[in-house]
Structure 1
């Protein structure tokens, strides 16, 4: 609560000093991208983080939500800090929110971490790694428990605070854990002050008509529309739409696109939002 009050005070100060929302141009826009980057491994099975960075750069996105990000996690990604490396390659700010934070395999090495991330060309005013229900993939006998890995970053986008969330919902066929995650997500979104601009980016691991997503789409709107089904998975020949850009009604969507980057087993989704 104290951090949210501090954020409100900071926003008020920006307006009073003429450097914040008061100077925002009418109908300014931001371009957002959601991308399950598959730890930098493309459908060709090749690890190439430079290719991942190039795909993000070519999208022209101002704010990016990434899923399946390794930070010193495993040999598959050469135990590199993918969040920091992508931020450096792109000249963007980064907030990494681990789902798992485990001891290293060798003494003295960094902790092994895996999760989601926000990249932003705009200043980041506040970050939080929220808990939602998860069924661990690291526990041999998992039970649903609150775990981290639901990222929130408040970015100052063209003078206007925008709450950007990134999530990766459960992949299992049984929707029970996803339904619990949706309930947690709706509760967290409702905790922000009334009228906040909110963008939720992520791999939901469910198609739009899935019943467990219905409460979520009542809180934030699915921005995809039109005749194009917007299929995103698998990347080579997609048959499902499971990757989403959603937003509150005070952010209006246009210029939607699904992007086949070759850098992942998912396609990326880019949407321009009018502030």
Structure 2
């Protein structure tokens, strides 16, 4: 019994300890509630005395309407013709780059001295035994600080092959290679395309190397090439080794929608003929051009300065 009494006493003391602060808080909250004004204006109005409600209403300051907001100024239109994009384009058949890998720097030197920004290379090897099993376009581009894309038309090994390449100082956004019509026993040819972004504007570059044995096959091939070229809008240029001279049917087909920017430059081959071309559309205006003979190939490097318009009607 004494133990039970002690337990009950301790319990009562503990309960009073817990409940006492809550009772004090409750009394304080009741006092604060009764002394504070009602948060609801309707309640305050209902509890106010009749004499208070008959007094004058408070005066409110009348705010003037804010001034009219002017329309946001329109962004000025950018004149696409005001700032032409200047660039130099080169086409160069490097004859398979049949020099040692160390001498690929010589080809890069020809390109560098021309100041070319975009380069179209034909007869390019990639991982072929005859040229040292190296990636020629990547090596040449590395000498120049350029980007490169490669289109294999003849797959010599499963690692690479033989075809065309495009190098660019400007970003290459996208590219693709298309094989051209062919005949049994003939070397497979192709057209390599690269979408190049020149100071925010797209330039579509096409690089090809047509058959050198059959005019009828070349005619079929240039027809397929022009179908690709004409499928794109905007600034574009076709270049490469067409294996055709001035006044040929191949050149006439190409000039149906393009222009001959190097018509006055003269021969581009050791044999004395002109077979290497740069053919822009009306978005590009040709400036100075140069033909650079070199011992690195039987073809000369052909480079032309262009001013690329920002719109067709500039």
- Normalised TM-score (structure 2): 0.68
Query: 1:175 — aligned with what?
Result: 215
Q: Show structure 1 runs of 5+ residues with no match.
A: 1-20, 105-110, 136-140
For structure 1, which segment, 85-94 or 207-216, has the greater mean C-alpha deviation from structure 2 after superposition? 207-216
Which residue among 178, 184, 189 is the counterpart of 2:229?
Answer: 189
Alignment of 1:52-63 (within 5 A): 52-63=107-118
Cα distance between partner residues in 2 of 1:35 and 1:200: 13
| 1:31 Cα deviation after fit | 0.3
Match of 2:106 among 48, 51, 64: 51
Aligned pair partner of 2:97 in 37, 40, 45: 40
Distance apart, 1:39 and its partner CA: 2.0
Q: Distance in 1 between matches of 2:134 and 2:101?
A: 15
Equivalent residue, structure 2, for 1:96: 150
**1:41, 1:48 within 8 Å by CA — same for their partners in 2?**
no
2:191 aligned with 1:150: yes
In structure 2, the residue corresponding to 1:133 is in which secondary structure? Answer: coil
Q: Which residue of 1 aligns with 2:179?
A: 131
Q: Offset of 1:143 from its aligned partner?
A: 6.7
TM-score, length-normalised on structure 1?
0.78
Q: In structure 2, what is the equivalent of residue 79 of structure 1?
A: 133
Q: Tell me the equivalent position of 2:285.
A: 252
Gaps of 5+ in 2: 1-77, 309-314
2:269 — aligned with what?
Answer: 233
Shift in Å at residue 59 of structure 1?
Answer: 0.9
- Rounded to whole Å, the distance in 2 between the matches of 1:23 and 1:86 is 34
Q: Matched residues in 2 for 1:264 and 1:46: separation?
A: 15
RMSD across aligned positions (CA): 2.5
Does 2:310 correspond to 1:269?
no
Tell me which structure has the larger Cα radius of gyration.
2
1:67 is aligned to 2:103: no
Alignment CA distance shift 1:72-1:171 (3 Å): same
Cα distance in 2, alignment partners of residues 64 and 143 from structure 1: 26
Contact 2:189-2:211 at 8 Å conserved across structures: no
Return the offset for 1:148: 6.3
After superposition, the Cα gap between the structure-2 partners of 1:233 and 1:153, relative to the gap in structure 1 and judged at 3 Å, is same
Give the superposition deviation at 1:263: 2.0
Q: Match for 1:198 among 218, 236, 256? A: 236
Q: How many residues align?
A: 233
Higher normalized strand content (fraction of residues):
1
Equivalent residue, structure 2, for 1:242: 275
